Amino acid sequence: MSPREAGAVRRRRGVRAYCAAVLAWTAAFMAALVLLPPGAHTIAAAHADSSSVTVPGPAVWIPSTQTYGANGAVTVSQTTNLVDQMVHVSWTGFTPSSGQFVTFTNLNVLYPVAVYECRGTNPKITDCYGTTHYGQKAAAGFAQPNDGAGLAAPDFPNNAVPAVTRSDGTGSADIEVYTANQSPSLGCDAANPCSIVVEPNYGGDSTGIDSTTSPPAPNCADHGVDRHPPYMATFNGFLQVDPNQNGTGEMCAWNNHVTIPLSFAPVAGACPASAAGVSAEGMPMLDRALAQWTVGACLNSADPVTLQYSSDITEPESRSDFLQGRAGADMAFTSLPADPAASSAHPYTYVPLGNTGIVIAFFIDDARTHLPITGVKLNARLIAKLLTQSYDVEHISTSKIDIPSVAGNPTCLFSDPEFLALNAQTGVTWPNCAGNAISSLPIVTGGTTDLVTELTTWIMSDPDAEAFLAGTPDPWGMHVDSFYQTSKYPYPINSFVSQDGSGPAGELGTGLPFPTDPNAADHDGAHMKGYEWNPLQAGLDDVARHMLQANPTCIVWQYDAFNGIHDKCTAQLVGGRDVIAVMDAGRAAAFNMPTAALANGSGAYVPPNASSMKSAALDYVTDPKTGTQSLPWGSAHTGYSGDTNAYALTVPTYAMAPTSGVPAAKATTIADLLSAVTDSRSGQLSGTQPGELAPGFTANTPAQAAQAGAAIGRIRAGAGPNGGPTTVTATGPATGKPTTSGNEVITPVTVTKNGTPSVSYSTSTLGGNGGANGGADAADGASGSSKGAAGASGSSGPTRNLSGSTTAAAVGSATADKAGVGRLILPILLIIGLVLVAAGPAALVLSSGGVSTKLRALWPQAKRRFGR
């Protein structure tokens, strides 16, 4: 359907009137579906943790014999320590649903299944979010009006999931479970358990339509109207009312329901209120891990260490706030380092907290089967095409004219020959661009973030993507949108901003000029590209919410005179989705979103998971200017370039923390907090328990763990007796470049102690020892690679220029306390070793089991934060 035709459909008032007449519950419950074949709402495999529970289901209804058979079974993938996340529900031994699809206008598929989240562990129908009776009087049961308008989903959107059962009696659904933050009316938290209810509709006369008594009485054993109007064994049956106009239609189905109790992780309020000892901000990609860490540490100690954390402040702003010593930024969480030349209110160090990833999440349904597609491969050039509006999404088959900036390009990703060649999967039918081309542009966050900087840096490290952005067409002739060519809009960038607000010179279908009447539907056609893509300014939470609702960020360029606006593109319905989003691995894991496999340095396509991110983290190289690490994208002869298991967009996470210049009590609090986070027995142990490392993150490598320990030691030393340790700043090399002799590196180092500089020379070995444990250096936690560099035959060596260290700082200035660890570049580590020696034994004091690890998350209660 062309954009013009789509606009015409939206303006048909008859359709509006019809939709307005549909019961509120029907619209809410079925808005998640256009086509739902068996199992369509869920991906093929969903993870289960140790709290997975299987319970008996109802006795199966056998329509052919009109009898009941054996009990089925229901499994829920996770039932404890829940946060706002997706939970996988599956069942066996249910009555197969008849009819192929559930559609918005066809609710007559027999024997469907409803999945609800409900208050309490023994809920009534009035406790289940999104049902016709949610929030009504519990004592009335089903004997009350079938009108939950304003009550069915008073908080977040309806999370009830309609589903069907396959011919073999199995089925599944993914349901987002809300905490009290998302749905205060449900109120699910650590003190108030909730439950999942799985309700198959096996029919029965709920309304007494076949009753011969007066007044009519329901009879759930009467299946005479199951398959005939009013179709009681369907979703339509839920909407039926009895002769007294009571909404009894779901009563017989409720008799078959199964309840699985859920318990939730503590939320902000789990500990006694007190003033925050430490405030921190930054790195939205880290917030789900921080939420789990802070709550867990709060519960595990008698001495609270309070933390106030603002995750909605992005990394560049948080780094700036920290360096300036602003209130609320005792620490800053970041992926990228601050400019080492920037002035700072106090010396500081980087503490590695673990690793995560930037992912391309997707919900793409097969155009033929309407089942979700679970595997997609993308390379840097394809992602660059998506992020630069380079597809000619407004193109229609009858076009007489085109948009100059993208003329001749494919209509969308799914008609791009490069994508189709890379994703030539047997039996897969990709979506048709003619229907939803505009909605396939990626959902992304606005604002300045490390996520965008890291992603676009990776894109520019790829020669094919770099050439494409510079204006070289791909091998199939597709060219970059001219408004995004790097001569005009140079990558890398640190925020997504739509650049193309152009359009064709006239009507696409006729080539005639656009009307001049401002109320005409096509008046703004000359700017139609400006409506295609709109980065979300509310951050990653909003990206995830749009993905869960399959709601693209485009706006319909045709003016709707009836509403006086340009309508937003509507949410897609299950069975016809083709939405893509850029987000962090933590959110994608929490909501069980399928993610694309990306081309890495070796040319292998690898999806993000714990194994691939761990492998990539072992390939990090160290920046000698800052001590922070990253993947050496675009560099040959490195561990990463030869690692077929590494996920390409793996990124480290850091806390920027002061090593002096803050009160001793605060320094101790910071060190206690970071000790809990980096402890291999808790904060670095993957799991869903409070205090453990959340899904979507991997633990510190041995090199990172050593760096964290040394850095925390320096933080503690800053809180030592007599006002802190001697001030020492290591800034080498002082002069010239490091020299090599065989595999030895000799590095001149400047050490400034109490304002007096001196030069020393350190010796290290290239490449580390390559041992399985990373070859920790006791002096400063230095570590070599456990994999080694992949170089030319008979060669080895550093992956970066060893002369890239900072120049000596002016005496008395506050510079970064470099705690970095180089897997392949060790001279910088000895610099830090000299710092420790000069600072004295106090600098080697690390956290111990007697140190308090209790934390307190004093988060603003007024914010209903996503992922809390």
What confidence score (pLDDT) does residue 398 get?
A: 81
Question: Per DSSP, what are the bridge partners of residue 195?
Answer: 118, 261
Q: What is the rounded distance in angstroms from the CA atom of residue 383 to the CA atom of residue 362? A: 13
Read off the pLDDT band of 566 (50, 70, 90).
confident
Q: What is the rounded distance in angstroms from the CA atom of residue 605 to the CA atom of residue 639? A: 16
- Give yes or no: residues 304 and 403 share one domain: no
- Give yes or no: residues 322 and 174 share one domain: no
Where a domain ends, among 262, 292, 314?
262
pLDDT digits (tens, 9 = 90+) for 573-617: 888 899 999 999 999 999 999 999 999 999 999 999 999 999 999
Strands 258-262, 278-281: pairing kind: unpaired
- Give yes or no: residues 464 and 322 share one domain: no
Read off the pLDDT band of 297 (50, 70, 90).
low
Q: How many CB atoms lie within 10 A of CB 325?
A: 15
* pLDDT mean over 166-181: 94
- Give yes or no: residues 309 and 257 share one domain: no
Question: In the structure encoding, which two tokens stand for residue 265, read together?
Answer: 């992780």
What confidence score (pLDDT) does residue 422 get?
A: 97
What confidence score (pLDDT) does residue 557 get?
A: 85
- Give yes or no: residues 799 and 748 share one domain: yes
Considering only CA atoms, which of 602, 685, 691, 590 is closest in space to residue 648?
602
- Give yes or no: residues 379 and 245 share one domain: no
- Give yes or no: residues 97 and 200 share one domain: yes
> How much is the pTM?
0.80
**Average pLDDT over the chain, rounded to whole?**
80
What confidence score (pLDDT) does residue 605 get?
A: 98
**Residue type for 430, please?**
W
Q: What is the rounded distance in angstroms from the CA atom of residue 173 to the CA atom of residue 481? A: 40
Packing angle between helix 463-470 and helix 450-461, nearest 10 degrees?
100
What confidence score (pLDDT) does residue 765 get?
A: 41
Q: Return the minimum-mean-pLDDT range out of 26-40, 323-337, 353-367.
A: 26-40
Q: 8 lies in a domain?
A: no
* pLDDT mean over 366-370: 90
650, 612 Cβ separation under 8 angstroms:
yes
Q: 5 lies in a domain?
A: no
Give backbone dihedrals phi and psi of 562, rounded to 5 degrees, phi first: -65, -45
Q: What is the DSSP letter of 811?
A: T
pLDDT digits (tens, 9 = 90+) for 188-217: 999 999 999 999 999 999 999 988 888 889
Packing angle between helix 702-717 and helix 664-678, nearest 10 degrees?
160
Q: Say yes or no to pLDDT of 374 above 70.
A: yes
pLDDT digits (tens, 9 = 90+) for 386-402: 999 999 998 888 888 99
Most confident of 306-310, 414-418, 688-692, 858-862: 414-418
Q: How many CB atoms lie within 10 A of CB 711?
A: 31
240, 37 Cβ separation under 8 angstroms:
no
Query: Does residue 272 or residue 700 have the better pLDDT?
Result: 700
Strand order in the sheet with 85-92: 53-62, 67-76, 85-92, 171-177
HSE-CB of 221 using CA atoms within 13 angstroms: 0
- Give yes or no: residues 73 and 98 share one domain: yes
Q: How many CB atoms lie within 10 A of CB 472?
A: 11
What confidence score (pLDDT) does residue 270 get?
A: 60
Q: 50 lies in a domain?
A: yes
Where a domain ends, among 553, 574, 595?
574
Read off the pLDDT band of 305 (50, 70, 90).
low
Strands 113-119, 53-62: pairing kind: unpaired
CA 348 to each of CA 332, 345, 821: distance values in angstroms, whole numbers, following the listed order: 11, 9, 16
Q: Say yes or no to pLDDT of 466 above 70.
A: yes
Query: Does residue 465 or residue 556 have the better pLDDT?
Result: 465
Q: How many CB atoms lie within 10 A of CB 526?
A: 18
pLDDT digits (tens, 9 = 90+) for 769-811: 333 322 222 223 333 333 433 333 222 222 222 222 222 222 2
Where a domain ends, among 262, 297, 327?
262
- Give yes or no: residues 480 and 532 share one domain: yes
Read off the pLDDT band of 300 (50, 70, 90).
low
Q: 9 lies in a domain?
A: no
Question: Any residues with CB less than 8 A from the CB of 172 and at least 6 apart, and which?
Answer: 39, 41, 42, 46, 88, 89, 90, 91, 163
Q: 598 lies in a domain?
A: no
Percent of the chain with pLDDT over 70: 73
What confidence score (pLDDT) does residue 840 get?
A: 36
What confidence score (pLDDT) does residue 243 get?
A: 87
HSE-CB of 518 using CA atoms within 13 angstroms: 2
Q: 327 lies in a domain?
A: yes
Q: Return the minimum-mean-pLDDT range out of 118-127, 343-352, 381-390, 557-566.
A: 557-566
In 645-787, the DSSP E strands lie at 650-658, 728-730, 739-741, 744-753, 756-765
- Give yes or no: residues 250 and 298 share one domain: no
DSSP letters, 85-135, are: EEEEEEEESPPPPBSS--BTTB---BS-EEEEEEESSS--GGGBTTSTTTT
Q: Burial of 70 by CB count in 10 Å (0-12 exposed, 13-18 middle, 19+ buried)?
A: exposed
Read off the pLDDT band of 132 (50, 70, 90).
confident
**Residue type for 55, please?**
V
Q: 12 lies in a domain?
A: no
* pLDDT mean over 56-71: 96
pLDDT digits (tens, 9 = 90+) for 808-833: 222 223 455 554 443 333 334 434 44
Number of domains forming the structure of the chain: 3
Question: Per DSSP, what are the bridge partners of residue 581?
Answer: 361, 443
Q: Could you tell me how far CA 373 lies from the centroid of its own chain?
A: 19
- Give yes or no: residues 496 and 549 share one domain: yes
Question: In the structure encoding, which two tokens stand for residue 622, read together?
Answer: 């160290």
Q: What is the rounded distance in angstroms from the CA atom of residue 638 to the CA atom of residue 791? A: 6
- Give yes or no: residues 298 and 411 share one domain: no
Q: What is the rounded distance in angstroms from the CA atom of residue 385 to the CA atom of residue 707? A: 38
pLDDT digits (tens, 9 = 90+) for 735-751: 444 544 444 444 454 54
**Residue type for 442, please?**
P
Q: 865 lies in a domain?
A: no
Q: What is the rounded distance in angstroms from the CA atom of residue 144 to the CA atom of residue 147? A: 8
* pLDDT mean over 425-450: 89
CATH number of residue 188's parent domain: 2.60.40.230
Tell me the residue range of the domain where 115 lies. 24-262
pLDDT digits (tens, 9 = 90+) for 234-284: 988 888 898 888 999 999 999 999 999 999 998 655 655 455 578 999 999
* pLDDT mean over 134-158: 83
* pLDDT mean over 455-480: 98
* pLDDT mean over 406-415: 96
Strands 756-765, 744-753: pairing kind: antiparallel
